[in-house]
Structure 1
Amino acid sequence: MTTLHTPRLTLRPITPADLPEVVAYRNDPAVARFQAWPLPATLETVQGLVSDRPLGAPGWVQRAVTLGGGPLLGDVALNTHGPQAELGVTLATAAQGQGYAAEALRALIDHAFGPLGLHRLHASIDPRNAAVARLLTRLGFRHEGTAIQGYWHRGEWTDDASYALLAAEWTP
């Protein structure tokens, strides 16, 4: 089981006790707007986020983002496939705008390119999610392209923007 620490945050496995809070922020329309999970989120649909699999195990592995091991702020995820991985971040509305997403993603990226030895990270976002586009750019990700109306999401065709970062380009 992988736990990561930053000056303010602890990224730890999601536990069954976290699930009611996970359901609450995943059902917040402002949080869910650009995310791919089915709505409404329920305890049953988020149960699969509870796992002791280490970061870097194949497939999606989530980590709770907590303030110093205390309150749950959201989660980050790594979807590893060979020497590459997709990453994601979701924060509750009250935790947004305070630098937590950048801090959590920096820790995740450091781990991915350090101990995991991954070659490339990528993220796929709805380009209307300008805050995450700015965040990825600040972290050094490059916009690699946008598939126009390439993603069916919540009853509409939406654009799908791809961002990526190579290990050789990462400067912690």
Structure 2
Amino acid sequence: MKIYTERLLIRPFESNDIDDVFNIYNNNNTCKYLLHDRWTVENLEKEFNKKLDNSALTKESVLSLAVVNGTKVIGDLSVWYTDMKDTVEIGFSFLNTVSGKGYATEATRSLAENLFNEFNVHRIQANLDARNVASKKLCERIGMRKEAHFIQDFWNKGEWTDSIVYGMLLTDLNK
């Protein structure tokens, strides 16, 4: 899968993306609300190989996509099917240095359009740590609506956290 936008190329990861991806995940602020800790030199290859292996979206596998601006990977999009028919969940991480430039919105909206139009999904959802304000705003910018807020329902990194579920249908995409 390759998606072209005005400023970006969205494609499966390639082996030479490793340093750019390390720059995304070797950051405590980026990983603060993710399920994993920041990447280190010691676990870099193992973690990056997971991204390389996730090169196709099937009912059994996750799709990991590089968001490329020029020649540099600035973001990571992930998609996987849930247990509900024709429903996928998305996840996203971007370099802190590109914050505020609209790249995350452009990439995530294009991914959503592709999922509805090419994969014929019925619903897209995102499950977030409720403290992750930037991700909440991104979901809202692409037309997702907040559907649930669960109180201390998720144990992560040694603490109970609230989680929020955002969702959208094709009809929500261009609102």
Fold-level similarity (TM above 0.5): yes
Contact kept in structure 2, 1:143 and 1:162, CA below 8 Å: yes
Contact kept in structure 2, 1:148 and 1:158, CA below 8 Å: yes
Say how many residue pairs are matched: 169
The runs of 5 or more residues in structure 2 that have no matched partner are: none
**What's the CA shift for 1:52?**
6.7
> CA 1:161–1:24 in 2, change beyond 3 Å: closer, same or farther?
same
Residue type at the aligned position of 2:55 = R
**What's the CA shift for 1:151?**
1.1
**What's the CA shift for 1:38?**
4.1
Task: Identify the residue that residue 47 of structure 2 maps to in structure 1.
Answer: 45
Distance in 1, matches of 2:55 and 2:48, equals: 16
TM-score, normalised to structure 1, is: 0.91
Task: Identify the residue that residue 67 of structure 1 maps to in structure 2.
Answer: 69
- What secondary structure sits across from 1:90 in the alignment? strand
Question: Is 1:91 aligned with 2:94?
Answer: yes
**What's the CA shift for 1:74?**
1.4
Task: Identify the residue that residue 168 of structure 1 maps to in structure 2.
Answer: 171
Distance in 1, matches of 2:132 and 2:54, equals: 30
Task: Identify the residue that residue 76 of structure 1 maps to in structure 2.
Answer: 77
Alignment of 1:137-156 (within 5 A): 137-156=140-159
Contact kept in structure 1, 2:130 and 2:162, CA below 8 Å: yes
Task: Identify the residue that residue 111 of structure 1 maps to in structure 2.
Answer: 114
Residue type at the aligned position of 1:71 = K
Superposed CA offset, 1:75-96 (max 9, x none) = 1111124401001110011122
- What secondary structure sits across from 2:55 in the alignment? coil
TM-score, normalised to structure 2, is: 0.89
Superposed CA offset, 1:19-65 (max 9, x none) = 232123212011111111244452212211003733x3223211000
**What's the CA shift for 1:117?**
0.5
Task: Identify the residue that residue 12 of structure 2 maps to in structure 1.
Answer: 13
Contact kept in structure 1, 2:28 and 2:38, CA below 8 Å: no
Question: Is 1:102 aligned with 2:105?
Answer: yes
Task: Identify the residue that residue 121 of structure 1 maps to in structure 2.
Answer: 124
Identity among equivalent pairs (%): 27
Distance in 1, matches of 2:96 and 2:54, equals: 26
